[in-house]
Structure 1
C-alpha cells in the first residue's frame, strides 16, 4: 500500500508543477513559482556576474589624481565594439541571465506583467549593458522599466540609471532636467538620494557649474551608506574648492576624508594629506608641523604603496621652500619607487629637467626631458611642449659635448712628457685599485653565500615556529660590514654625511679627461689597460690632427656663444664661450663675428665700457666689414640691409629658380666663406648642393648632400640632408631607361638641343616655336627651356601623350611652319627625361634605338 501512495503523491506533485509552469495563467501558484525561480536562479546568478565584472573593472581602473576625479570609477574605452562582442565576459553573462529571466519567466497577461521580478530583470539588463559601455541599448532597458512598470519599487533606481546613461551619451542638460524633476516629484532618501545627488553633481561638473556640483556632493556624502563613496565624494569636493581657489574650504573637505581613516580606501586619505601639503601657506603656515607631517607620512609602514606620491609632494614642498638639494633628493626617491603612475614620473623628470635648465646644465636637462617624453602620451599637448623644449636643447648639447671632448684632448696634448706619464700612472693605479676592489667584492660575495648556507643549516628552530631562522642579513655580519665600509671609501673617498653626497667633490680634477679615456678603455687589451704608455700613444701628435681638433672645438665655442645669446638669453654663458674662443687663437673667419656678438652682449649686460672698447676695435681693425658699417650706421639695423646674408640668399634663390646654376654655385661658395659661422651658411650649402645636382648630376648631388648632412648635422638643413640621403637618393640612383611604348601611360617630350653659348639663338628659336605651336590642331602644346649641363641647354615641347605622335611631331605642323622649325630633335618620355637630367647620361640614351 505504501508504494501506490508514493506514486500518487509524486503524480500530484508533478501535475502541480506542470500547471504552475504555465506563464499564461494568472494564478497565485503560477506567479510565485516564476517569481521565485527568476529571483533565485537567473537573477541571482546574473547579479553575481555583474558584481564580478564591476570588481574587475575597478581593479583595472587607475584614478588620475592630477585632475578632478570622476564621480564614478569607470574606465571608458575608445575601442569600437561590434555587435555580439563584449569588453567583459561577466557583463555578457549578466546580460544573458537577465534575458533568460525575461524570456522564461515573464507573465505578460492582458498587457500587464504579473511577475514582480521582471522590473528587476530589466534593471539588471540595463546595468550589464551600461558597464559593458553599450549605452544606447542600456538606455532602452531603463526606459522600458519607466514605460512598463511605473508602480515598481525600483522606479527611482531606473530613473537614476537612465540619467547616468544620458550623461555617458553627453546629454548632460537632459540629465539635469530629469533629475531636478525627480527631486521635485519624489521624496528620496538614503542610497537613492545619494545616487541621484552624485550623478547630478557629475552632470553639473560636465557643464562646468562647479559650485552647484559641490552642493550636490555634500548631499550625496551625507546620504550615502557607503564609506567608500563618502570618502570619494569628500575628496572631489576638496578638489573642486581648490579649483575655485578656496583653499580653506578645500582643507576642511580633505580633513573630513582624513577623519574616515580606515573606513574608506587609504588612497583617498593619503591623497587628502598631499592635497593639504599643496595648499600649505608658506608665509603664515607652521613649517615645523608640515615637516613633521611629511616625515610621519613617509615613515608609516601602511603608506609604503603610496611612497611615490609622498616623495613627489615632499620634494615639491621643499622646492617651494627653497631647499633645492632636498627637493632633488626626494624627486629621485620618487623615481626609484618604480611607480605605476606615468604622469607622476613625467612630472618628476620634468621638474628635475627644469631645475637643471635653470642652472644652465643643459645636457643633463635634455636627458631628463627625454625621460619625461617617454612617460607621456605620444603627440599629446604635454608631450609636444616638452619636445619643443628638448629640440631647443639639441644644438647646445651637441656642441657642448664636442667642446668638452676636444678640450680634454687638447689639455692632454699640452702636457709635457713627464706630466703625461704622471697623469696616466695615476689613472692606471686608480684602475688597478678598482679592479682589486671588484675582485674582493666578488670573493666576499662568495664567502657570504657560503656563510649564509652554514647559518641556515646550523640555525636552531624558533620555539614559536618550526621554520629555521636565517642570519644572513648584511648588517648582522661584521665581516661584510667592514668590507662594505672599506669598499665605499675606496670608490667614493671620505664623504661627509649630507644630502647629495655623491655630487660633492668627486675626487678627480680632470673629469673630462677621464670621460675621454672611456672610449679608449673599450678597445684596450688586458695588458694595455694597465700600461701608461698605451694611453700616451693614443694622444694626437701630428700638427694637422691637432689643428683639426682645435678648429672643431673653436667652432663649437662660437656656436655655443650664439645659442646661449639668441635662444636662451644666457648672456654670461655666451660671453664666457666667446671670450674662451678669442683666447684660443681661432681661425680668422670666427674672430670678427665673435667680437661683434661680444659687443652686443656687453650692451645687453650693461657693460658699456667693454662695449665701447669692442666697438672701436671692430671699426679700427675691420673698417670695410659689414659689422663696421652697421656700427657706424646703426639705422641700417632697422632698415633692410641689402648685404645681409638673408637678402643675399633670397637673391640667390631667385637665380636658382631661373636656372642660373653655375652662378648659384660660385656665389654660394663665396657667401659661405664670407658668413662662415653664421646660421645662414647651412642654407647656402643646401642651395649649392641642389644647384650642383641640377648642373652636374647625381654623383655631385650625392657628394654635396653627404657633406651637408655630416658637417651641419644639427641644423634644419643638415637634418633635411640626412632625410634626402636616407630616403630620396636611393630612389634616384637607378640609371636604367624605360622602353617607350604606347601601352605604358606617360607624357612625351620633343627635345631640341643647343649649346649654352647660343643664348640669342635659343631665345629666338623659342619665340618661333611658341608661334608654331599655336597653329597645331587637336593638341594643347607649350614649350620651355631647361639647363642640361654647363655647355648644353634643351628647348622642350610638352603636351604629347603617346610616343608615336611625339615621334611624328614634325607632321603635326603645317607646311609653312615646318620650314620654320628645321633644328633636329629627339623624343623622350617624361620618365626617361628625368633619368637623363639626374644622371647626365644623354649620350647613353641617344645610343638606344628609340628615335
Structure 2
C-alpha cells in the first residue's frame, strides 16, 4: 500500500514544481520560485564573477599621483567598445549569468514584472558591461530599469550608474542635470548618496569647475561608509586645493588622510605626507625637523614600496639646501627604486639634466634629457618641449666641440717651437704605446688560445711530434709569421714587399736601390 501513496505524492510534487516553473502565471509560488532561483543560483554566480573581475581591475590599476586622481579606479581606453568586443572573462561570465536570469526567470505579465529579482539582474548586466567598457550597451540596461521598474528599490542605484556612463561618454552636462534630479526625487541611502555626490564631483572636475568639485567631495567623504573611499576623496580634495593654490586647505585635507592611518590604504597616507612637505616652506626653524621626518619615512620598513617617491623628496630637500652631491645621490637612488613609474623617472632625469646644464656640462645634460624622452608619452606637450630642448642642446654641444678644437689649435699654434715639438713627440709616443699595448693584448689572446688548445684532447695528442706534424706548434708558428711579415705570396724574394725597395749602403750610409734579380 505504500507504493501508491508514494506515487501519488511524487505526481503531486511534480505538478507543483511544473506549475511553479511557469513564468506566465502570477501566483505566489511562481513568483517566489523564480525569485529564489534568480537570487541564489544565476545571480549568485554572476555576482561572484563580477566581484572577481573588479578585484582583478583594482589589482592591476596604478594611480597616477602626479595628476588629479579620478574618483573611480578604472583604467579607461580611448576606444568605445561595442557588443562584439570583450576584455575581462569574469565580466563576460557575469553578463551571461545576468542574461540567463532575465531570459529564464523574468515574469513580465500584463506589462508588469512580477519577479522582484529581475531588476537586480538588469543592474548586474549593466555593471558588467560598464566595467568591460562597453558603455552604450550598459546604458541600455540602466535605462531599462529606470523606465520599466518605477517602484524598484534599485532605482536610485540604476540612476547613479547611468550617470557614470554619461560621464564616461563625456556627457558631463547631462550627468550633472540628471544627478541633481536624483537628489531631489529619489530616496537614496547614505552610501548611494555618497556615490552620487562623488560622481557629480567627477563631472565638475572634467569641466574644470574645481571649486564645485571640492564641495561635492566633502559631502561624499562625510556620507560614505567605506574608509578606502574616504582616503581617496580626501586626497583628491587636497589635490584640487593645490590646483586652486590654497596650500593650507590642501594640507588640512591631507591631514585627514593621515588621521585615518591604517583604516585607509597606506599609499594615500604616504603621498599625502609628501604633498604636505611640498606645500611647506623650508625655513631655519623647521629645517632640521623636516629632515628628521624624511629620514624616519626612509627608514620605516612599511614604506619600502614607496621609497622611490621618498628618495625623490629627500633629493629635492637637499637640492634646495644646496647639498648638491647628496641630492644627486638620492635622485639616482630614486631611479634605481622606481618600478613602472615612467613619470617619476622623467622627473628625476629632468632634475639631473637641469643640474648638469647649470654646471655647463652640456653633453651630460643632453644624455639625461634623452632619458627624459624615453619616459614620456609621445604627442604630449611635455614630450614636444623636452624634444625641442634636446635638439637645441645638441646644437650647443656641436658648436662647443668646434670651439674647443679651435681653442686647442690656437693654443698649440701660440706655443714656442720647442714646446710644439715636445707636444707632438709626446702625442706620437702615446699613440705608439697604445698600438704596442693593443698588439701585446692580441698576442696574449692568441697565446692563451694555443695554450688552451694544448691542454685540450687534440693538443695533447699532438704533443712531442715533429714540428710540422704538431698542430699546436704549426698554428703558433703560422700566426707568428703573419704577425711579423703579413700575408705573402709563395714566390722568390718573398721578404720584399716591393721589388724596387730602397736599402742603405753599409759603405756610404746612402740610400741605394735594391737589385731584386
Shorter-chain TM range is: 0.7 to 0.9
Distance 2:328 2:79 in 1: 40
Question: If the length of structure 2 is used for normalisation, what is the TM-score?
Answer: 0.79
Alignment of 1:129-528 (within 5 A): 129-283=129-283, 286-400=286-400, 415=422, 525-526=441-442
Cα offset for 1:273?
Answer: 0.7
* Partner Cα distance (1:392, 1:522) in 2: 38
- Do 2:82 and 2:136's aligned partners in 1 also have CA atoms closer than 8 Å? no
Q: CA deviation at 1:82?
A: 5.0
Q: Which residue of 1 aligns with 2:36?
A: 36
Written as runs of structure 1 = structure 2, the 5 A alignment for 1:773-784 is none
Cα 1:78/1:393, change in 2 over 3 Å: same
**Alpha carbons of 1:19 and 1:318: their partners in 2 closer, same or farther (altered >3 Å)?**
same
Using the alignment, how far apart are the partners of 1:183 and 1:353 within structure 2?
52
Question: Counterparts of 1:660-671 in structure 2 under 5 Å?
Answer: none
In 2, Cα distance between equivalents of 1:134 and 1:38: 24
- Residue 543 of structure 1 is matched in structure 2 by none
Q: Name the CA distance, whole Å, in 2 between partners of 1:338 and 1:391.
A: 27
- SS of structure 2 residue aligned to 1:84: coil
In structure 2, distance between residues paired with 1:142 and 1:105: 19
Report 1:641-656 matches (<5 A).
Answer: none
Q: Following TM superposition, by how much is the alpha carbon of 1:358 offset from its aligned partner in structure 2, in angstroms?
A: 1.2
Change (3 A) 1:19 1:168: same
- Alpha-carbon distance, 1:395 to partner: 2.7
**Bigger shift: residues 44-53 or 177-186:** 177-186
Q: Aligned partners of 2:119, 2:297: CA distance in 1, in Å?
A: 49
1:63 alignment partner in structure 2: 63
For residues 124-170 of structure 1, the C-alpha deviation after alignment (integer angstroms, 9 at most, x for no partner) is 11111111111122111111111111111111101111111111111
How far apart are 1:407 and its partner, in Å? 8.7
Q: Secondary structure at the match of 1:325?
A: helix
Structure-2 separation of matches of 1:105 and 1:299: 59
Alignment of 1:554-565 (within 5 A): none
CA distance in 1 between partners of 2:249 and 2:423 (Å): 72
The CA distance in 2 between the partners of 1:34 and 1:68, in whole Å, is 46
The 3 A distance-change label for structure 1 pair 522 and 137 is farther
Cα distance, 1:8 vs structure 2: 3.0
CA contact (8 A) 1:129 1:135 kept: yes
Q: How does 1:81-96 map to 2 (within 5 A)?
A: 81-96=81-96
- What is the rounded CA distance, in whole Å, between the counterparts of 1:89 and 1:521 in structure 2? 64
Equivalent position SS for 1:91: helix
Alignment coverage as a number of residue pairs: 438
Q: CA deviation at 1:319?
A: 2.0
Can you list the C-alpha shifts for 1:352-411, whole angstroms capped at 9, x where unaligned?
A: 101111111100000001111111112321111111111112133335557778999999
Kindly state the Cα deviation for residue 320 of structure 1 after the two structures are TM-superposed: 2.6
Deviation at 1:215, TM superposition (A): 1.2
Greater mean deviation of Cα atoms: 384-393 or 174-183: 174-183
2:80 and 2:134 in contact (8 A); partners too? no
* The 10-residue stretch of structure 1 (313-322 or 346-355) with the greater mean CA deviation from structure 2: 313-322
Contact 2:83–2:134 (Cα < 8 Å) also in 1: no
Structure 2: distance between partners of 1:522 and 1:180:
81
- Pick 1 or 2: higher relative contact order, CA cutoff 8 A, min separation 6: 2
Instruction: Report if the CA contact (8 A) 1:71-1:198 is conserved.
Output: yes
Pick closer, same or farther for the CA change 1:522–1:177 going to 2, 3 Å. Answer: farther
Residues 57, 74 of structure 1: 8 Å contact kept: yes
Q: What SS does the aligned partner of 2:379 have?
A: coil
Question: Following TM superposition, by how much is the alpha carbon of 1:290 offset from its aligned partner in structure 2, in angstroms?
Answer: 1.0
Report the CA distance shift for 1:18/1:63 in structure 2 as closer, same or farther (over 3 A). same
Retained in 2: the 8 A contact 1:282–1:321? no
Residue 522 of structure 1, CA deviation: 7.0
Judge conservation of contact 1:363–1:396 (CA < 8 Å) in 2: no
SS of corresponding position for 1:525: helix
Q: Is the 8 A contact 1:278 1:317 kept in 2?
A: no
How far the C-alpha of 1:15 sits from its partner, in A, is: 1.7
Give the match's secondary structure for 2:65. coil
User: How big is each residue's C-alpha offset from its partner over 1:269-294, in whole Å with a ceiling of 9 and x where there is no partner?
Assistant: 11001101111112476112211111
- Equivalence for 1:104: 104
What residue ranges of structure 2 are gaps of 5+ in the alignment? 413-418, 446-517
2:281 aligns to what SS in structure 1?
coil
SS of residue paired to 1:36: helix
Separation of aligned partners in 2, 1:44 and 1:390 = 58
State the 1:528 CA deviation: 8.4
Q: Deviations over 1:502-553 (max 9, x none)?
A: xxxxxxxxxxxxxxx7x99778634589xxxxxxxxxxxxxxxxxxxxxxxx
The residue aligned with 1:782 is none
**Paired residue secondary structure (2:130):** helix
CA distance in 1, matches of 2:285, 2:216: 31
Post-superposition offset of 1:5: 3.5
Q: Structure 2 vs 1, CA of residues 414 and 7 (structure 1 numbering), >3 Å: closer, same or farther?
A: farther
Work out whether 1:78 is the aligned partner of 2:75.
no
Shift of 1:419: 6.3
In structure 2, the CA distance between the partners of 1:24 and 1:301, relative to structure 1 (3 Å rule), is same
Assess if the C-alpha contact under 8 Å between 2:82 and 2:134 holds in 1.
Answer: no
C-alpha spacing 1:224/1:408, structure 2 compared with 1 (3 Å): same
The runs of at least 4 consecutive aligned structure 1 residues that moved more than 4 Å come to 399-425, 519-524, 526-529
Q: Is the 8 A contact 2:370 2:390 kept in 1?
A: yes
Q: Is the 8 A contact 1:277 1:317 kept in 2?
A: no
Q: Deviations over 1:783-819 (max 9, x none)?
A: xxxxxxxxxxxxxxxxxxxxxxxxxxxxxxxxxxxxx
- SS at 1:74 equivalent: coil
